[in-house]
C-alpha cells in the first residue's frame, strides 16, 4: 500500500468512530475529527502507541469556516498525500419527545449534524477522493453512518428521522454522481444499540452476549466496503445484532 | 357539514395549491397561505366569486415568528372554527447542479422549505386538528405533498432530496404519533411534471394528452384522502401520469 | 355511465370482496367469482334485491381451464359489454408455522392463489380492459389486494410472504406495461385485521371502535382508484386503521 | 478452522456460483450442486487441482425427491461434518416478453427456481446450519443471490420479478426466524451484468473496464457476509458496477 494515502474519520469519539479509526489505521495514517479534543485524544494515543500514525483535529462539521480551517491544517499535516477514505460518523443531536413539545431548535440541531455536516464534509473530501482515484489501490471511499431512523420515521423520533433521512438522501445522490467517477459512496444502516461504555448498563434483547453491536464488527464491514472492487460496489447495507428484532 | 370547520393550504400558488384550495373550498372556508399575496390573490377571488369563502394570508412557513403572526390572524378571522384539513404544499427552493458547484445555502434553502417549514406548519396546525377530532365529519387531516425526490436521491438533486426525504420523515413520524389520536397524516408522492402555465411548453412523454399531472386530479385524490374513514387511513400514495416511466 | 360496461370481482366472499362488489354494483353490473357458490350467493342476492345486476361464477383462479370456462360464461352473460374494472381479491391459503414444520405444499398453496391466480386472472382481463379504453368514462382498472406480507417477510409467515411479494411483483410489472396503454393497475396494501364475521371476536388494538378495517371503507378507496384520471394514477397505497401500529 | 466444516453452493455453474465455490474452497471442502454435471465439472477439477476438496452433486432444487437423494449423498460424503455455509445461487428460468405472450408455464418456471428451489434448499440446509452453530468459527450462513428484479417489477419482466420477489420474501422470513438462533441469512441484490463467457460480447455502460460485475468481486462480498460477527449481521446489500445507472 502506498505510504502516501490517508483516511479521515469525522465523529471519532468512542464507539464506531474509534473502532473505524483503529481499523483504518492498520493501513493508513488517520485523521480523527471531532468537536472536542477529549473525544479523539485517547484514540490518537492508542494508534500512535501501536505504531500507527494518527492526528486529531477539532472541528464543527456543521460550520463551513471551521471545516475550512480544519482541512487547511490537514493538508499541511499530510503534504502530497491522497485521501483513500473519508468516514462520516457524526451523531446528530436529537430529542426524543412528543412532537408538540419539540422546538424548532431541536429539528435544526438534528439537521445540522446530519445534513449540513455531511454536506460540508463531502464538499471538502470529495475533491480529495477524486484526486486519489488514479493512485489508490482500493477505490477512494466515502462511508456514511446511518441508523434505523434513516428509513423509518417513528413517533417522537421525528427530528432525528428528518436529519437521518436527509443524510441518506445526500449519500444516495453522491453515490449516483460520483460512482461513475470512481469514488465509492456507501451508507450503512446501523440497527441496534452499539456496545460502548455509555450503553453498558442497557439491557437489550434479554442481555444475551453480542446483543449489542460491537464497534469492531461495524469497523470490519466498513473496511470491507472500502476494499470492494469497483466492479461490485455496495451502496447500502444494514448491520444489526443477531437477536435484534426487525 | 358543520359551517364551523375550515381548511388551510400552505403553498397556495398556481398548480396543486390552487387546485386543492378550490376543491376544499367546495366544502370549507379556506385559508390560502403563501409568501407573497400575488401567489394567492387570484385564487381567493376565484373562490369568492364562486360563492365560497377564502382568505389569503402572507407568511414565511420557515419563520416561526411569521407563522405566529399568521395564525393569530387566522384565529381572528375564524373565531370558534375548527380546522378540518391542513395541506402542506410548499415548494422547496433548490438548485439542480453538480454537487461541487453547490453552496451550503442551496442545501439550507431546500431544508428550510421542506423541513423547517413543515415543522412550523405542523406545530401550528396539529393542535387545531386535534381539537377538531370530536366534531369533524371526516377525520381532521394533515396532507403533505412529496415528489420522486422524496424517495430517491439522484445525482445533482442532492439538496432537493435532502429536504424532501426530511419532509417525508417528519410526515411519517407525525402519522405514527397522531393517527391514534384521530388526526390523519398522509404523504403523496407526485411523480411527474404538473400541468401549470409555467410547464405548458415542456414536452414530456412525447407530449401526448394527459402526460402531465392535472392539478385538479391531484386535488381529487387529496380530497379522497381527507374523507377516508379512520378505519382505513392511507399514509402514503403515489400519483403519476399514465405515460410516465417509473 | 354507459350501460355496456361491467366489473369482475375475483375472491368475492365476505369482507373486502363483498364490499367492493356492492360498491361497484352501484355503477356497473358485477360478476362475482369464487371457488364455491356459497361464497358469493348472498352478495349476488343482495345486489339484485337492491336493483343492481350481479352474476356469480364459480372458478378456480389458479386453474387455467377453469378460468377459460368461467370467462366463456361471462362473455355469454354480457355480450357486447366492455370491462371497466377487474378486482383481484383472492386470499392465498397459507400456514403460520415455524419454517421447518412447513411442507412444500404450503408454499405452493400460497403461490397458487397469489401468483398463478393473478397471472391467469390478468391474462383473461387485461385484453378486455384494453378493449374498453376508448369507451370507458374512467380508465379501465385492474385492482389487486395486498397485505403487510406483500412488503415484509416475517418469521413464520414465509410462505404467505412469498406469494404476496410475487403478487405485488406481477402487479408492478403489469402497471409498468399497461399504464401507457391506458389500463390502470393498482395495488393496495391492507395493513390490519378486516372487520368481518370471522374476526368479530378478535380483540385488536384494545378493541376500540374502528380498530379493524371496515370493508366498506376499503371499497371506497378501491372506487376512488378506479375513478382517478389517467393524468394522476396511483400505483400503490396503504390502508390501515387509525390505531394500527406500523 | 476446523477441518470438520463444509460448504454447499447450489447453482454452481460459471459466474457467481463458480467464483463463490472457489472462494469458499480456500477454507472449506465444497459441494457444488447443479442440475447437470457439466455445470460443475470444471470447477470441481479446478478446486481439486489447487489442493482443495470439492464434490459435485447433480440435483434439481425444485424437486423434493431429487434434493432428498442429493443430501443423502452429501451426508455420506461428509460424515461428521457440520455445514458452515450454504449458498443459493440458482438462476430462475424466465422469459422477457410482453405479458399477453407469456404462458402460465413461464411463471411456474420462474417460481420453481426461485421459490420452490430455495424452499427445498433451506429445508435441507437450515437444520445442518443450526447444528453447526456451537462449533463454527463464523456464524453458519445461508446466502441467497438476488437481482434488481427482486425489488422492482419491470414491464416484460413480470415472471422473473414474481420469482425473485418471492425468493427475497422467503429469505427475509428465514432471517427473522433464524438469526436469533445463530444462523445468518443474507440476500444480495446483484444489479448489473455479470462478467462471464456468455456476456463477454455484451457492451454495457459504454464497454469501459469493470462495467460488468466480476464474479470474484461478488464472491469477496459473500465471504465477508459469511465472516461477519453475530453482533453485526447484514441482512441485505446491493452490488453493482461503479458505472451502472441506478
Q: Can you tell me the mean pLDDT for D132-141?
A: 94
Cα separation, A50 vs C176, whole angstroms:
57
Q: Which residues, other chains included, contact A26 with Cβ-Cβ below 8 Å and sequence gap of 6+?
A: A52
pLDDT of residue A3: 53
| Shortest Cα distance, chain B CAs vs residue A154, angstroms | 5
Does residue B243 carry a pLDDT above 60? yes
d(CA C98, CA C96): 7
pLDDT tens for each residue of D194-218: 999 888 888 777 789 999 999 999 9
Q: Which residues pair with C31 in a beta bridge?
A: C8, C55
Q: How far apart are CA A60 and CA A72, in angstroms?
A: 14
Q: Do D176 and C155 touch (CB under 8 A)?
A: yes
Q: Tens of pLDDT along B20-55? A: 999 999 999 999 999 999 999 999 999 999 999 999
Q: Read off the pLDDT of residues A118-164 as tens digits, 9 standing for 90 and up.
A: 999 999 999 999 999 998 899 999 999 999 999 999 999 999 999 99
pLDDT (mean) for B178-183: 98
Contacts of C234 in chain B (CB under 8 A): 221, 237-239
pLDDT class for B136, splitting at 50, 70, 90? confident
Provide DSSP, D74-139. HHHHSTT-EEEEEEE-PPPP-----GGG--HHHHHHHHIIIIIHHHHHHHHHHHHHHHHTTT-SSP
Handedness of CA C173, C179, C184, C188 (dihedral sign): positive
The answer to whether A186 and A175 are in contact (CB under 8 A) is: yes
Residue B206's pLDDT band (cuts 50, 70, 90): confident
B203 half-sphere exposure, CB direction, 13 A CA radius: 2
Q: What is the pLDDT of residue D1?
A: 45
Q: Which of C123, C161, C173 sits opposite D173 (nearest CB)?
A: C161
For B235, the closest of C235, C238, C245 (CB atoms) is C238
| pLDDT for the residue numbered C3 | 53
- Residues of C with Cβ-Cβ distance to B139 under 8 angstroms: 242
Predicted confidence (pLDDT) at residue A86 exceeds the cutoff of 90: yes
Distances in whole angstroms, Cα of residue C188 to Cα of each of B235, C184, C218: 12, 13, 9
| Mean pLDDT across A15-32 | 97
DSSP one-letter code for C55: E
Closest to A240 measured CA to CA, from A214, A219, A220, A222: A214
Residue B91 sits at φ, ψ, to 5 deg, of -75, 140
| The residue to which cell 361471462 is assigned | C74
Residues D94, D115 contacting (CB under 8 angstroms):
no
D214, D220, D229: residue with CB nearest A217: D229
What is the distance between the alpha carbons of residues A222 and A186, in angstroms, rounded to a whole number?
A: 9
The three-point CA angle D204-D209-D215 to 5° equals 80
Report helix angle B64-77 to B117-132, nearest 10. 30
- pLDDT band of B93, cuts 50, 70, 90: confident
3-state secondary structure of D213: strand
Chain C residues in contact with B216 (beta carbon < 8 A): 229
**Cα distance from C228 to chain D (closest Cα, Å)?**
22
Tell me the percentage of chain A whose pLDDT exceeds 90: 89
The burial of C69, by beta-carbon neighbours within 10 Å (0-12 exposed, 13-18 middle, 19 or more buried), is given as middle
Tell if the CB–CB gap between C233 and B239 is shorter than 8 Å: yes
The cell numbers describing B17, all together, are 395549491
> Over the stretch C156-174, which tens digit does the pLDDT of each residue have?
999 999 999 999 999 999 9
Q: How far is D117 from chain A (nearest CA, A)?
A: 26
Only one residue has cell 472500502, namely A226
**B contacts of A126 (beta carbons < 8 Å):** 99-100
User: Residue D3: pLDDT band by 50, 70, 90 thresholds?
Assistant: low
Contact between A9 and A30 under an 8 Å Cβ cutoff? The reply is: yes
Say if residues D73 and D50 touch (Cβ distance below 8 Å): no
The nearest CA of chain D is from the CA of C146 a distance in Å of 14
Q: Give the closest residue to C124 by CA, choosing from C55, C35, C79, C64.
A: C64
B198 — pLDDT class (breaks 50, 70, 90): confident
Interchain CB distance below 8 Å, C169 and D154: no
Residues 6+ apart with CB under 8 A from A122: A88, A142, A170, A174, B99
- Measure the CA–CA gap between B101 and B158, rounded to whole angstroms: 12
* Rounded (5°) CA angle C208-C212-C216: 125
Backbone angles phi, psi at D115, to 5 degrees: -100, -60
Q: What does the pLDDT average to over B175-180? A: 98
pLDDT at A27 over 90: yes
pLDDT at residue D29 is higher than 90: yes
Q: Helix D158-178 vs helix C158-178: angle between axes, to the nearest 10 degrees?
A: 150
The whole-angstrom separation of Cα B21 and Cα D84 is 62
pLDDT digits (tens, 9 = 90+) for C189-222: 999 999 998 888 888 777 899 999 999 999 999 9
* Residues of chain B in Cβ contact (below 8 Å) with chain A: 64, 98-100, 102, 104, 107-108, 111, 115-116, 119-120, 122-123, 126-127, 149, 152-159, 161-174, 176-178
Which residue carries 472457489 as its cell?
D22
Distance of CA B82 to the CA centre of its chain: 19
pLDDT bin (cut points 50, 70, 90) of residue A25 is very high
Mean pLDDT of D131-146: 95
Nearest CA of chain D to the CA of C151: how many Å?
8
Under the phi-then-psi rule, with left for phi > 0, alpha for psi from -120 to 50, and beta for the rest, what region is B143? beta
In whole angstroms, give the CA distance from residue A42 to residue A38: 7
pLDDT over threshold 70, residue B2: no
Mean of the per-residue pLDDT values for chain B? 95
Residues of C in contact with B238 (CB under 8 A): 234-237
C33-43 confidence digits (pLDDT tens): 999 999 999 99
Question: Measured between alpha carbons, how far is D240 from C196 in angstroms, rounded to an integer?
Answer: 47
- Could you give the angle at the alpha carbon of A153 between the alpha carbons of C212 and B142, nearest 5°? 65
Alpha helices in C78-197 (DSSP H): 104-111, 117-132, 158-178
Grid cell 356497473 — which residue? C28
- Report the pLDDT value the prediction gives residue A136, as an integer from 0 to 100: 87
Among A58-67, A195-204, B120-129, whose mean pLDDT is lowest?
A: A195-204
Mean per-residue pLDDT of chain A: 95
Give chains near A: 3+ CB pairs under 8 A.
B, D
Q: Kindly report which listed range (A25-29, A210-214, D132-136, D184-188) carries the lowest average pLDDT score.
A: D132-136
DSSP A99-133: GGG--HHHHHHHHIIIIIHHHHHHHHHHHHHHHHT
Chain C residues in contact with D98 by the CB 8 A cut-off are: 177
Residue at grid coordinates 467464483: D19
Name the pLDDT band for A1 (thresholds 50, 70, 90). Answer: very low
- Residue D213 is nearest to which of A211, A216, A231, comparing CB atoms? A231
Of A132, A119, A130, A100, residue with least CA distance to A5: A132
* Element holding C187 (H helix, E strand): strand C184-190
Interface test with B, best of A99, A165, A181 (most B CBs within 10 A): A165
More reliable by pLDDT, B219 or D93: B219
ipTM, 2 dp: 0.96
Domains of chain A: 5-239 (3.40.50.720)
Judged against a pLDDT cut of 90, whether residue C44 lies above it is answered with: yes
* Euclidean distance between CA atoms B25 and B245, whole angstroms: 33
**Which among C104, C164, C176 is the nearest to D153, CB-wise?**
C176
**Is B223 in a helix, a strand, or coil?**
helix
| Region D164-169 average pLDDT | 98
Strand pairing category for B30-34 and B141-147 = unpaired
Sign of CA dihedral B225, B231, B236, B241: negative
Residue B3's pLDDT is what?
53
| Distance (Å) from the alpha carbon of B207 to chain C's nearest alpha carbon | 12
Q: Which candidate in A193, A232, A239, A241 is best for mutational testing of the D interface (most D CBs within 10 A)?
A: A232
Q: Which residues contact C3 (CB under 8 A, 6 or more apart)?
A: none
The alpha carbons of chain D give a radius of gyration, in whole angstroms, of: 17
Amino acid at each position: 500500500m502506498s505510504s502516501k494515502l490517508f483516511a479521515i474519520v469525522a465523529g471519532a469519539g468512542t464507539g464506531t468512530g474509534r473502532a473505524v479509526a483503529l481499523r483504518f489505521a492498520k493501513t493508513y495514517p488517520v485523521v480523527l475529527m471531532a468537536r472536542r479534543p477529549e473525544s479523539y485524544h485517547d484514540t490518537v494515543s492508542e494508534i500512535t502507541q501501536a505504531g500507527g500514525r494518527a492526528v486529531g483535529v477539532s472541528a464543527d462539521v456543521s460550520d463551513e469556516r471551521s471545516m475550512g480551517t480544519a482541512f487547511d491544517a490537514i493538508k499541511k499535516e499530510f503534504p502530497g498525500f491522497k485521501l483513500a477514505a473519508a468516514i462520516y460518523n457524526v451523531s446528530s443531536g436529537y430529542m426524543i419527545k412528543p412532537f408538540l413539545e419539540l422546538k424548532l431548535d431541536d429539528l435544526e440541531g438534528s439537521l445540522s449534524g446530519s445534513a449540513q455536516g455531511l454536506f460540508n464534509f463531502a464538499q471538502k473530501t470529495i475533491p480529495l477522493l477524486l484526486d486519489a482515484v488514479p493512485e489508490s489501490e482500493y477505490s477512494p471511499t466515502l462511508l456514511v453512518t446511518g441508523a434505523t431512523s434513516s428509513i423509518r420515521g417513528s413517533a417522537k423520533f421525528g427530528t432525528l428521522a428528518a436529519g437521518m433521512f436527509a443524510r441518506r438522501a445526500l449519500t444516495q445522490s453522491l453515490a449516483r454522481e460520483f460512482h461513475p467517477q470512481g469514488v465509492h459512496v456507501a451508507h450503512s444502516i446501523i440497527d441496534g444499540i452499539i456496545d460502548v461504555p455509555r450503553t453498558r448498563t442497557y439491557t437489550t434483547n434479554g442481555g444475551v452476549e453480542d446483543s449489542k453491536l460491537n464497534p469492531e464488527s461495524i469497523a470490519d464491514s466498513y473496511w470491507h466496503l472500502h476494499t470492494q472492487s469497483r466492479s461490485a460496489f455496495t451502496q447500502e447495507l444494514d448491520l444489526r445484532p443477531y437477536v435484534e428484532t426487525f
